[in-house]
């Protein structure tokens, strides 16, 4: 057990923007956690969040906050390009880390974070909060109970009609974001797909990317304000990938910020199994009647729409993070899963740039990355 119950787990938040609200509410829901500090370069925003959540100490420099030896864990809630610098600094100072998605700008940085967590014996987890939706949790339980049999094909999509977040902000700068909708939205549905399918290894990837809206100043998300300005549009606004997995499984993935289509801000995942099928279809972040399950009843095709709760989102993810700190179990599992997703996204971008399919392990070796795994050496053989 890593953390005794003699005192609460003391938490600091790096970045006090919009997404930090979800982390803070999650920590407030945990009985053995005390929020002691936050770091935010905007003094006005820091003061606002300190008042709202009762955060005692606010810093404008996260490095200064991380020097404190009384902080056990941090949430990293900053733009993508700061995930690795902040996460590495926290891990190397002996703190557990819950990082917003994606784990890092690219797989090299993600590998550094996993290595730092392993070297320092700390928990590293990524906030894949869509696993904690009611529909996703119910479907995962149905899959684990054998309801779909062997899943051999999956289709995952997150499409927006007009939703480029912050035109000219850090989101549209490749060096600051790591990419466009594939790394922003696609990472969520990629994570769900692999989670549902049992974390199969990747064999080959064939991907394409397009930038048909952003460079012409079209497709902006009205009302979306993100930090940074004046950046040219250097990322894709649509990405597609066909991914071959071990055992003959395949995954079709697509993500867009802007398309001339019927989409609003919609994501879906369809799973095809030997004993049943299922589909999650969500429009504009809804949660009611989003899950459909397909099977046979007495030899007759039957569809069902389970009544599922909304789910806890980030609160559930934060609770799991705290549990891992308290028990010392599965310390690297979340980090390894985040690394795997980062490697797949990097390989998708590489395939799109090359214009042909890539062998995943050959690509990884060529980039000095270790073989793919999500096996936590502290997990006692569990997968």
| CATH number of the domain to which 191 belongs | 3.30.360.10
Closest by CA to 212, choosing from 235, 184, 182, 187, is: 235
Segment 60-67 long-range contacts (CB within 8 Å, at least 24 positions apart):
62/14, 62/15, 62/86, 62/89, 63/89, 64/39, 65/12, 65/14, 65/37, 65/38, 65/39, 66/12, 66/14, 66/90, 66/93, 66/95, 67/93
Asked if residues 242 and 252 have their Cβ atoms less than 8 Å apart, the reply is yes
167 with 294, same domain?
Answer: yes
Position 380 scores a pLDDT of 39
Task: At 380, list the tokens.
Answer: 């006692």
152 with 266, same domain?
Answer: yes
Q: Residue 355 domain-assigned?
A: no
Per-residue pLDDT in tens (0 to 9) along the chain, 383 residues = 444 457 899 999 999 999 999 999 999 999 999 999 999 999 999 999 999 999 999 999 999 999 999 999 999 999 999 999 999 999 999 999 999 999 999 999 999 999 999 999 999 999 999 999 999 999 999 999 999 999 999 999 999 999 999 888 899 999 999 999 999 999 999 999 999 999 999 999 999 999 999 999 999 877 666 655 677 899 999 999 999 999 999 999 999 999 999 999 999 999 999 999 999 999 999 999 999 999 999 999 999 999 999 999 999 999 999 999 999 999 999 999 999 999 999 999 999 999 999 999 999 999 988 887 656 544 433 33
37 with 95, same domain?
Answer: yes
116 with 260, same domain?
Answer: no
45 with 193, same domain?
Answer: no
DSSP 3-state of 67 = coil
Structural domains in the chain (count): 2
184 with 39, same domain?
Answer: no
111 with 260, same domain?
Answer: no
Q: Residue 348 domain-assigned?
A: no
Position 375 scores a pLDDT of 60
67 with 143, same domain?
Answer: no
Omega of the bond leading into 102 within 30 degrees of 0 (cis): yes
**270: containing domain:** 134-304
114 with 148, same domain?
Answer: no
Asked if residues 10 and 71 have their Cβ atoms less than 8 Å apart, the reply is yes
What does the alpha-carbon distance between residue 371 and residue 293 come to, in Å, rounded to a whole number? Answer: 35
Model confidence, pTM: 0.94
220 with 279, same domain?
Answer: yes
What does the alpha-carbon distance between residue 253 and residue 269 come to, in Å, rounded to a whole number? Answer: 9
Q: Which residue in this structure is represented by tokens 């019927």?
A: 262
Write down the number of H helices and E strands in the chain.
Answer: 12, 15
171 with 119, same domain?
Answer: no
107 with 49, same domain?
Answer: yes
């Amino acid at each position: 057990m890593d953390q005794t119950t003699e005192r609460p787990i003391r938490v600091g938040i790096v970045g006090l923007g919009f997404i930090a609200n979800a982390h803070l509410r999650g920590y407030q829901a945990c009985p053995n956690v005390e929020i002691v500090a936050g770091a935010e370069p905007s003094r006005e925003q820091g003061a606002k969040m300190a008042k709202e959540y009762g955060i005692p100490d606010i810093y404008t420099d996260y490095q200064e906050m991380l020097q404190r030896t009384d902080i056990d864990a941090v949430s990293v809630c900053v733009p993508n390009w700061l995930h690795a610098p902040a996460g590495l600094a926290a891990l190397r100072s002996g703190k557990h880390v819950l990082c917003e998605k994606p784990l890092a700008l690219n797989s090299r940085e993600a590998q550094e974070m996993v290595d730092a967590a392993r070297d320092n014996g700390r928990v590293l987890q990524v906030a894949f909060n869509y696993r904690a939706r009611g529909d996703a949790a119910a479907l995962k339980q149905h899959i684990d109970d054998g309801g779909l049999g062997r899943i051999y094909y999956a289709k995952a999509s997150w499409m927006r009609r007009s939703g480029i977040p912050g035109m000219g902000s850090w989101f549209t700068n490749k060096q600051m974001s790591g990419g466009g909708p594939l790394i922003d939205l696609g990472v969520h549905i990629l994570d769900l797909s692999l989670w549902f399918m049992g974390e199969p290894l990747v064999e080959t990837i064939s991907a394409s990317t397009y930038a048909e809206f952003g460079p012409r100043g079209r497709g902006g998300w009205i009302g979306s304000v993100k930090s940074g300005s004046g950046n040219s549009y250097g990322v894709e606004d649509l990405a597609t990938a066909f991914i071959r997995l071990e055992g003959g499984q395949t995954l079709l993935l697509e993500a867009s910020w802007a398309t001339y289509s019927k989409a609003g801000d919609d994501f879906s995942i369809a799973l095809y199994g030997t004993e049943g099928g299922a589909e999650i279809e969500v429009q504009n972040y809804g949660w009611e009647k989003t899950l459909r399950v397909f099977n046979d009843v007495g030899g007759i095709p039957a569809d069902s729409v389970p009544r599922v709760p909304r789910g806890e989102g980030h609160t559930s993810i934060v609770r799991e993070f705290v549990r891992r700190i308290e028990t010392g179990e599965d310390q690297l599992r979340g980090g390894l899963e985040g690394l795997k997703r980062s490697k797949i996204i990097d390989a998708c971008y590489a395939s799109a740039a090359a214009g042909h399919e890539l062998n995943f392990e050959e690509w990884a070796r060529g980039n000095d990355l270790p073989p793919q795994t999500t096996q936590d050496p502290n997990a006692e053989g569990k997968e």
